[in-house]
Amino acid sequence: MAQHLDSFFAALSDPTRRAVIERLARGPAAVSDLHDGHDMALPSFLKHLNKLEAAGIVRSIKTGRTRMVHIEPAPLAAAEDWLIRQRNIWEGRLDRLALLAERLEQEDRE
């Protein structure tokens, strides 16, 4: 699980790859459509897609001469689960800290 999260977050560390994911959230797209709007050569852009595919975040399927790319939901769900667990841990810690601060403040008033 940790290795999958490592590759997931590493893949999302680049703004170009995050932009691709944001675009694919609206639905599958051809590689040429994904490349439009990115100021880089196609081979450089394909390296970004390969990084996303290696992390399991996207999958591409060749249909005729067109390569279509879509999001794979499982890695996104795994990362979301991990983030939720981390949020719950920190919310619990902050709640305990708030209670301690209230108790200390009340003791100061007494």
Q: Angle 73-109/2-11 helices, nearest 10 degrees?
A: 100
CATH number at residue 70: 1.10.10.10
- Tokens found for residue 51: 């990084």
Say how many domains are in the chain.
Answer: 1
Per-residue pLDDT of the chain (110 residues; tens, 9 = 90+): 567 888 899 999 999 999 999 999 999 999 999 999 899 999 999 999 999 999 999 999 998 999 999 999 888 888 888 889 889 899 988 988 988 898 888 888 87
Q: How many CB atoms lie within 10 A of CB 62?
A: 9
Global pTM value:
0.74
* Residues whose CB falls within 8 Å of the CB of residue 42, separated by 6 or more in sequence, listed in order: 35
- Which residues form the domain of 12? 2-109
